[in-house]
Amino acid sequence: MNYFHKKLCIALLPLILIGCSRNGVLDEHKFSLVGNEVVSNELSCETIADSSVYLLDPMKDGEISFKLTKGTDKLALTIGDEYLSLITGTAVEQGFSESEKWPILQNDEKYLIAGNFKQSAFGSLLYSFALNKKSGFAVWTKVEPNFLYVPAAGGFIQYLTCK
């Protein structure tokens, strides 16, 4: 079945993300959200907010950076029977045309959850994608125990709206 039942649902919520700046003062960023119920297996998603944490300077121990910005990336998703196919706008801009395929861990009328583990010469990466089909809001994460050859954990979280 390629399409879910047709029904329009709109959610308007504030998204508030809080992080610490370099001087230790809390920074707060607010984003307005408008969501729509997912009614298809072919989705377009836009990043609303993008956050990342990483080692600030590989030559210094004990300093990490937390960055929170307005999202700019877009994703195209195809929900299959066993796999979620995903490609980012950034990947397309860099000349990639093949999507990544992540195993679907849960797919019912309310939620879609998929994940992927990659092992490469640069280390291990763990990805997850969680979509609330009723609101169209999703979270995409990437975590890694080290960045390239620097032994410090890092990663990102993107908050998205999908339709």
Q: What is the mean pLDDT of residues 22-49?
A: 76
Choice between 62 and 54, residue whose per-residue pLDDT is larger: 54
- Exposure letters 83-93 (e unless 16+ CB within 10 A, then b): bbbbbbbebee
Q: Is residue 118 part of a domain?
A: yes
Residue keyed to tokens 């990102």: 156
| Residue 151: Cβ within 10 Å count | 11
Q: Is residue 137 part of a domain?
A: yes
Dist CA 29 CA 161 (whole Å)? 17
CATH of the domain at 80: 2.40.160
Q: Is residue 129 part of a domain?
A: yes
Q: Is residue 90 part of a domain?
A: yes
Task: Say if residue 53's pLDDT is above 80.
Answer: yes
Q: Is residue 2 part of a domain?
A: no
Tell me what percent of the residues of the chain surpass a pLDDT of 90. 51
91 Cβ contact list (under 8 Å, min separation 6): none
Q: Is residue 29 part of a domain?
A: yes
Q: Is residue 146 part of a domain?
A: yes
Q: Is residue 83 part of a domain?
A: yes
Q: What is the pLDDT of residues 107-136, one digit of tens each?
A: 999 999 999 999 877 788 999 999 999 999
At 145 the pLDDT is 86
Torsional sign, CA 83, 95, 38, 69:
positive
Give the count of domains, the chain: 1
- For residues 49 and 158, the answer to whether their CB atoms sit within 8 Å is yes
- For residues 106 and 92, the answer to whether their CB atoms sit within 8 Å is no
DSSP class of 89: H
Give the domain range for residue 143: 10-162
pTM (two decimals): 0.78
DSSP class of 61: S
